[in-house]
Structure 1
Amino acid sequence: MDAPARRACKDAHMFPIGRSLPSADDLLVLLAVGRSGRFTTAADSLGVNHTTVSRRIASLERALGGRVLVKTSGGWELTALGRRALDAAEHVDGVVRGLVDPDGAPLGGVVRISATDGFSAYIAAPAAVEVRRRHPAVSVELIAATRRASESRSGMDIEVVVGQPSVHRAEAIRLADYCLGLYATRDYLGRHGTPADRTELEAHPLVYFVDSMLRVDDLDLAHTGAGSGVRLPAMAGSVSSTNVFVHVEATRAHAGIGLLPCFMADRHDDLVRVLPDEVTVTLAYWLVARSDTLRRPEVAAVVDAIRAQALARADELRGRAGAAR
């Protein structure tokens, strides 16, 4: 018996007696579920039905002697055993892809991103286009949402949130700082007067998020000033929305003074910065993803493109273009 055969026999005896070796097919099914967080999505990507996915996962758990997935409110989350199995699944997937294209299979698959409205439009979307230009087989799904980083991250490969997140079993990467400032139209200021200082802001309505539905601490602090040192006086609400594009357009429609991202407001010549020397709130975008997700080549390509786009737009994000105008 040659050395590889002897080694294989030795390794086989190390596996618990009475338990079958995990199937490579079962591992690949786990890989699909781990990436999407959902059986139905994994089934669609594999071209099988939901029942087959469930049966494969059960088979893998019998072989490994423990649970690899647990159900959460956001989908299916990997257990500690599941994360170890996912590492093996990624190796299997890499070997299979290498057989198809020994020189390196082209990147493919779907990368799903959750990000705020403004970031999605001005940073993530151009980054996705650049990834698609380099890797046409990669699809990028952008889900616009302003929220905290989720605990499970099931169903999302990448999350971009405002403010440093507290995360477990995931990596948090600071992308860029950006600023909020007060803006109004020339027409509005001509009819209602331009505030000379912060105290005069009380006479003006504010365009901002719906207070009762705001779930991002840093954005709430930006309004109250508790975290930024720039405390705004109590301002009556005007048009409020969960969507920052609505803030911009309502301000452009003369609804009041909007607390807007500078990189969005400075694009519009009809908006004037109000009290720029007194009211500038600096916040930060953070990217959150699981370590195993970041190891996927297509995800890494998207993350690199997002970071490059954020770096290229750093001055704009910090509002320097508007200050110089």
Structure 2
Amino acid sequence: MSLTTPRRAPSADDLIVLLAVAREGRYTSAATRLGLNHTTVARRIESLEQALGGRVLVRGTAGWVLTPLGEHALAAAEEVEAALRRLSPDAPALGGVVRLSATDGFSGFIAAPAMAALRARHPDVSLEIVAATRRAAQQRVGVDLEVVVGRPHVQRAEAIHLGDYVLGLYASRAFLERNGTPETFDDLAGGPLVYFIESMLQVDALDAARRSTRGMVDAVSSTNVYVHVDATRAGAGYGLLPAFLADPHEDLVRLFPDRLEERLPYWLVCRPEALRQPTAVAFIAALRARMAEAADALLGRSAASSSAES
């Protein structure tokens, strides 16, 4: 679709409604955010399309997505939003909601502390997290940012490598007392494994990490990495766990630390419009800062240092 000359000047209110629908992906969610009803939101979008002479939204598989004309209008809508924010000089410099889709471990260990640090400076900023372990979506409806494991292949989005973390093999001290400590990889054959549900795992990098445990038998499987940690601590078997979640627990022992280590990357996927939101940009900076702060823990170095010192 080619951009058309507006038939009349679009309403600032209509542009703000478009901004909300673009961020939420649904009329109902946008209506709730704006304190309007669904009918009013639909009427505002129709009014904007009449003013611009074309469609600004089309239905996608997961909600409403912007057309090229809609993306053009969105830039103007963001300028309106920024202008309105400047009219409130006493308000904090940043405000609004950042919506993030990320894995459970990243959400708890990286995203939550990053938002806490950002809110200390900008208390009107908030974070909504959809915890999920999956590939990057081709249509990012309802979220501003995604964090995935493994390099994503996406269109109309920017992918940023945030950093790496490592998986190691762990067992509880009680489990090792009952079953003995394996001395070679061959001793793990037929042993109970705690990890993701293989048939439901959508992330190639996490699936490939199982290569060192192929001869083992699934004992407890879950889509939630915190379940992996708790099940391993309870003695359900050998857990293939992120070092940053396992190392703080003194009742867990890492096995073959110099030989069994899977290094995996965290990638951030951003919608183009999210990179024009000052709040989202500030949160990305906070994520980078938290990743740098936690680098040793993510790579299992903090536990190694503690063991060397002791």
Q: TM-score, normalised by structure 1?
A: 0.89
> How far does the alpha carbon of each residue in 1:9-55 deviate from its partner, in whole angstroms, 9 at most, with x for none?
xxxxx946xx2222221111111111111211211221111111111
1:173 partnered with 2:160: yes
- The answer for the alignment partner of 1:52 in structure 2 is 40
1:125 partnered with 2:112: yes
- The answer for the alignment partner of 1:29 in structure 2 is 17
1:12-23 mapped onto 2 (5 Å cutoff): 15=5, 19-23=7-11
- The answer for the alignment partner of 1:97 in structure 2 is 85
> How far does the alpha carbon of each residue in 1:169-195 deviate from its partner, in whole angstroms, 9 at most, with x for none?
111111110000000012211221222
- The answer for the alignment partner of 1:271 in structure 2 is 252
Aligned letter for 1:55? R
- The answer for the alignment partner of 2:274 in structure 1 is 293
1:1-325 mapped onto 2 (5 Å cutoff): 15=5, 19-101=7-89, 106-223=93-210, 225=211, 231-324=212-305, 325=307
The answer to whether the 8 Å contact 1:21/1:63 transfers is yes
- 1:100 alignment partner, SS class: coil
Separation in 1, partners of 2:129, 2:34: 22
Separation in 2, partners of 1:268, 1:100: 48
Q: Which runs of 4+ in 1 moved over 3 A?
A: none
Cα RMSD (Å) of the superposition? 1.6
Separation in 1, partners of 2:112, 2:55: 37
Q: Once the 2 structures are TM-superposed, how far is the Cα of residue 60 of structure 1 from its aligned partner?
A: 1.2
Separation in 1, partners of 2:185, 2:292: 32
The answer to whether the 8 Å contact 1:198/1:278 transfers is no
- 2:139 alignment partner, SS class: coil
Aligned letter for 1:272? V
- 2:213 alignment partner, SS class: coil
Query: Could you list the runs of 5+ residues in structure 1 that have no partner in the other structure?
Result: 1-13, 226-230
Aligned letter for 2:300? G
How many pairs are equivalent?
A: 303
Query: Could you list the runs of 5+ residues in structure 2 that have no partner in the other structure?
Result: none
Q: Once the 2 structures are TM-superposed, how far is the Cα of residue 257 of structure 1 from its aligned partner?
A: 0.5
Aligned letter for 2:80? V
Aligned letter for 1:91? E
Q: Once the 2 structures are TM-superposed, how far is the Cα of residue 104 of structure 1 from its aligned partner?
A: 8.0
Separation in 1, partners of 2:45, 2:16: 10
Q: Once the 2 structures are TM-superposed, how far is the Cα of residue 105 of structure 1 from its aligned partner?
A: 5.8
> How far does the alpha carbon of each residue in 1:240-282 deviate from its partner, in whole angstroms, 9 at most, with x for none?
1110011001000111101000111001001001111221000
Separation in 1, partners of 2:129, 2:172: 31
> How far does the alpha carbon of each residue in 1:123-150 deviate from its partner, in whole angstroms, 9 at most, with x for none?
1111111111111111111221111111
Separation in 2, partners of 1:66, 1:167: 27
Separation in 2, partners of 1:322, 1:145: 27
> How far does the alpha carbon of each residue in 1:217-237 deviate from its partner, in whole angstroms, 9 at most, with x for none?
1101111x3xxxxx3332111
Separation in 1, partners of 2:237, 2:272: 44
Q: TM-score, normalised by structure 2?
A: 0.93
Q: Once the 2 structures are TM-superposed, how far is the Cα of residue 99 of structure 1 from its aligned partner?
A: 2.8
Aligned letter for 1:33? V
Aligned letter for 2:193? L
Query: Which moved further from structure 2: 242-251 or 108-117?
Result: 108-117
> How far does the alpha carbon of each residue in 1:269-299 deviate from its partner, in whole angstroms, 9 at most, with x for none?
0100111122100001111111211221111
Separation in 2, partners of 1:105, 1:234: 56
The answer to whether the 8 Å contact 2:92/2:123 transfers is no
- Give % identity: 59
Separation in 2, partners of 1:107, 1:186: 48
The answer to whether the 8 Å contact 2:92/2:122 transfers is no
Aligned letter for 2:230? E
Choose 1 or 2 for highest CA Rg.
Answer: 1
